[in-house]
Amino acid sequence: MRIPADRSGRAPGTPGTPHAPATESLIGEVLEGRYRIDAYLARGGMSTVYRGVDTRLDRPVAIKVMTPQYAADPTFLVRFEREARAAARLDNPHVVGVYDQGRDGENVFLVMELVDGGTLRDLVHQQGQLSVRTALSVLEPTLDALAAAHAAGLVHRDVKPENVLISSRGEVKVADFGLVRAVTSTTMATGDVILGTVAYLSPEQVETGAADERSDVYAAGVVAYEMLTGRPPFGGDNALSVAYQHVHSDVPPVADAAPGVPEGIAAVIDAATSRDALDRPANAGEFLRELRRARLAVGLSLAPVPVPLRPDRAPGTPSPPRPTTVRPGDGQPTAIQPPAHGNGRPTSAPPDRPARSSAQLARRRGRRRMFIVLAVILLLAAAAALGGMWLANRWTSMPAVLHQPSADAVLAVKDAGLHAALTTRHDNAVPSGDIAAADPPADTRQRRGATVSLVVSSGRPVVPHIARGTSRGAAGSLIRAADLTPVTDAAANVYDDVVVAGSVVATKPAAGQSAPIGSDVLMVLSRGPQPQAVPTVAGKLTEDAQNKLLVAGFTLGPVKTEFRADVPAGTVIGTDPPADAMAPHGSPVSLVLADSKTVPSVDGGTVADAAQSLRAAGFTVTIGTPVFDATVPGGQVVAIDPPAGTRIDPANPDVTVIGSNAVTVPSVTTMTVSRATQVLADEGLEAKAWSLFGGDNAIVTSQQPDAGALVEPGSTVSLTAWP
Residue 716: the pLDDT is 96
Span 386-414, average pLDDT: 79
Dihedral sign computed on CA atoms, order 149, 153, 159, 163? negative
Span 194-207, average pLDDT: 78
Dihedral sign computed on CA atoms, order 624, 630, 632, 634? positive
Which distant-in-sequence residues (6+ apart) come within 8 Å of 186 by Cβ? Answer: 70, 73, 75, 76, 79
Is the predicted pLDDT of residue 298 greater than 50, yes or no?
Answer: yes
Residue 367: the pLDDT is 57
CA separation for the pair 174, 397 (Å, rounded): 56
pLDDT tens per residue across span 412-452 = 999 999 999 999 999 999 999 999 999 999 988 899 999 99
- Rounded percentage of the chain residues whose pLDDT exceeds 90: 67
Residue 382: the pLDDT is 54
Span 100-110, average pLDDT: 91
Residue of higher predicted confidence among 47 and 388: 47
Nearest residue to 632 (alpha-carbon basis) of 671, 596, 593, 658: 658
CA angle 472, 473, 478 (to 5 degrees): 95
Tell me if the domain spanning 531-595 has CATH number 3.30.10.20: yes
Tell the CATH topology of 664-722.
Answer: Trypsin Inhibitor V; Chain A (3.30.10)
Helix or strand run (H / E) with residue 111: strand 107-113
CA separation for the pair 574, 560 (Å, rounded): 10
pLDDT tens per residue across span 660-712 = 999 999 999 999 999 999 999 999 999 999 988 778 899 999 999 999 999 99
396-457 — its CATH code? Answer: 3.30.10.20
Is the predicted pLDDT of residue 609 greater than 50, yes or no?
Answer: yes
Tell the CATH topology of 472-525.
Answer: Trypsin Inhibitor V; Chain A (3.30.10)
Residue of higher predicted confidence among 345 and 171: 171
Domain spans, the chain: 22-113, 117-297, 396-457, 472-525, 531-595, 598-661, 664-722
158 is catalytic: yes
pLDDT classification of 544: cutoffs 50, 70, 90: very high
Class for domain 598-661, per CATH?
alpha beta
CA separation for the pair 621, 615 (Å, rounded): 6
Is the predicted pLDDT of residue 10 greater than 70, yes or no?
Answer: no
pLDDT classification of 16: cutoffs 50, 70, 90: very low
pLDDT tens per residue across span 261-281 = 999 999 999 999 999 999 999
Amino acid making up residue 53 = V
Helix or strand run (H / E) with residue 50: strand 47-54
CA separation for the pair 696, 303 (Å, rounded): 125
Cβ contact 214:277 at 8 Å: yes
CA separation for the pair 276, 472 (Å, rounded): 12
CA angle 262, 159, 49 (to 5 degrees): 130
Catalytic residue among 122, 158, 279, 483: 158
Is the predicted pLDDT of residue 391 greater than 90, yes or no?
Answer: no
Is the predicted pLDDT of residue 28 greater than 50, yes or no?
Answer: yes
CA separation for the pair 30, 36 (Å, rounded): 4
Tell the CATH topology of 22-113.
Answer: Phosphorylase Kinase; domain 1 (3.30.200)
Is the predicted pLDDT of residue 541 greater than 70, yes or no?
Answer: yes
117-297 — its CATH code? Answer: 1.10.510.10
Is-same-fold flag (117-297; 531-595)?
Answer: no
Which distant-in-sequence residues (6+ apart) come within 8 Å of 278 by Cβ? Answer: 473
Residue 497: the pLDDT is 86
CA separation for the pair 513, 146 (Å, rounded): 38
